[in-house]
Amino acid sequence: MKFRGGGATRKTGSCCGLTLCHSSAKDNLSPKIEEFYEKMKRHSGLDPESINADRNRLRLGGRSDEGGKIIPSSYRHPELDSGSIKIGKDSGSEAGMTGTESNILHRKVQSDEGSRTPCTTFRHSDGSQSLSMPVNSIRYFWRQKSRKAAFTMAEVLITLGIIGIVASMTLPSLYIKNQNKALEASLKKNYSVLQQALDMYQAQNGFRLKSDDLDTHELKPAILPYFNVLNDCGVGTELSGKACIPNTEENKSNIYKSYNGNTITLAVFDDGQFVLNDGSLILLENVRYGYGVLISVDVNGYNKRPNRWGHDLFTFQLMKDGELLPMGAPETQWHNENTYCSTTSTNNMNGAGCTYKALTDKDYFNNLPK
């Protein structure tokens, strides 16, 4: 095959019907291949400089050697093989052809036994040949266009490490926040349950329980029938071992702490104890001429932490008129916040006066001492 241009005639090689033309003045590719590259630049979305660089490599890599055979381009990918790839508007236009080019439906990869450079033939839907060119260039653009970005292993490990660090800093605070919300909801629920029990007692007996009318240990048998009781723990001073929170010389529980984590007195918990169906523990103080008539509740049960007054353990006072008030309210006996609900107080009743604040201060549970 001969080519005339620039005043010189040179032989050229061919591949699968494709003529690669070179002149002494300028290396040229056949017009249809130039047209293909132009389509690539317009429609493929690839970097035009990359397309031009590939076109130049094809010009330099397709020269004829002395034997007249095509010298394969060093740009050829070794993994290229024969196959069939559908192109057009239904396949994402991998070859960069859209709109009017959608009539080109197939490209068939062929391999010439006499050539070391595989070629691609584009065919119209009627089967007529439209264009042939080396497959390494076509396959390169198709792979570049279809290639998806991927992370290296190092990037993945670094990302996972960062996620782990952030999680270690945020998850504990989220857990504590959710736990405190649950304690707040349980406190309100138990306050309602206690009031309902006193209301039911009044409805059935015709009068309301009042602190001055109750003698020692009379409160528990009076109100017990109005609760859904899971376990009756007796009283804390029993020697039988039945008590949930024992308070004897031989066996004194240390399960509960004050608002700021110090030791507290158990004397206000040992005149009646019972566990409700939801796990809440009711603790009574009912001794004439003692601390008054008090009802305390561990809202999540004594087997669950934090087991601290003002955190999950709250105290209410039965008043002389029969009203049940949260301890810390102005009418109650332990309403001094500096003594009975303080992060610095050393009083062994510290935390008993926090109930009123826990029910009225919306930020109370967000500021509990650690």
**221-250 pLDDT per residue, tens:** 999 999 999 999 999 988 777 899 999 888
Residue 167 lies in a domain: no
The residue type of 311 is: H
Residues 186 and 140 occupy one common structural domain:
no
pLDDT at 127 over 60: no
Q: Where are the beta strands (DSSP E) in 180-339?
A: 229-232, 273-276, 281-287, 292-298, 313-318, 324-326
First to last CA, the chain: 91
- pLDDT given at position 142: 53
Residue 194 lies in a domain: yes
| Distance between CA atoms of residues 330 and 336, nearest Å | 9
Residue 63 lies in a domain: yes
Residues 214 and 357 occupy one common structural domain:
yes
Residues 199 and 141 occupy one common structural domain:
no
Residues 199 and 135 occupy one common structural domain:
no
Q: Retrieve residue 257's tokens.
A: 């702490």
CA dihedral of 138, 140, 143, 149, whole degrees rounded to 10: -150
- pLDDT given at position 187: 97
- pLDDT given at position 87: 33
Percent of the chain at pLDDT > 70 equals: 61
Q: What is the pTM of this model?
A: 0.58
Number of independent structural domains in the chain:
2
Residues 235 and 348 occupy one common structural domain:
yes
- pLDDT given at position 65: 37
Of residues 178, 336, 177, 245, the one with CA closest to residue 354:
336
Residue 132 lies in a domain: yes
Give me the residues paired with residue 85 across strands: 107
Residues 42 and 190 occupy one common structural domain:
no
Across 105-109, 135-139, 164-168, 306-310, least confident range: 105-109
Residues 186 and 130 occupy one common structural domain:
no
pLDDT-based confidence at residue 355 (cuts at 50, 70, 90): very high
pLDDT-based confidence at residue 75 (cuts at 50, 70, 90): very low
Residues 223 and 337 occupy one common structural domain:
yes
307 versus 60: the higher-pLDDT residue is 307
The residue type of 365 is: F
- pLDDT given at position 179: 84
Residue 329 DSSP symbol: S
Q: Mean per-residue pLDDT for 340-359?
A: 96
Contacts of 178 (CB under 8 A, 6+ apart): none
Residue 174 lies in a domain: no
List the domain range (segments joined by +) for residue 317: 179-367
pLDDT-based confidence at residue 274 (cuts at 50, 70, 90): very high
Residues 126 and 56 occupy one common structural domain:
yes
- pLDDT given at position 237: 87
Residues 250 and 339 occupy one common structural domain:
yes
pLDDT at 216 over 80: yes
Per-residue pLDDT reduced to its tens digit, 171-202: 777 777 888 899 999 999 999 999 999 999 99
Residue 90 lies in a domain: yes
| Distance between CA atoms of residues 198 and 318, nearest Å | 10
pLDDT at 58 over 80: no
Residues 18 and 132 occupy one common structural domain:
yes
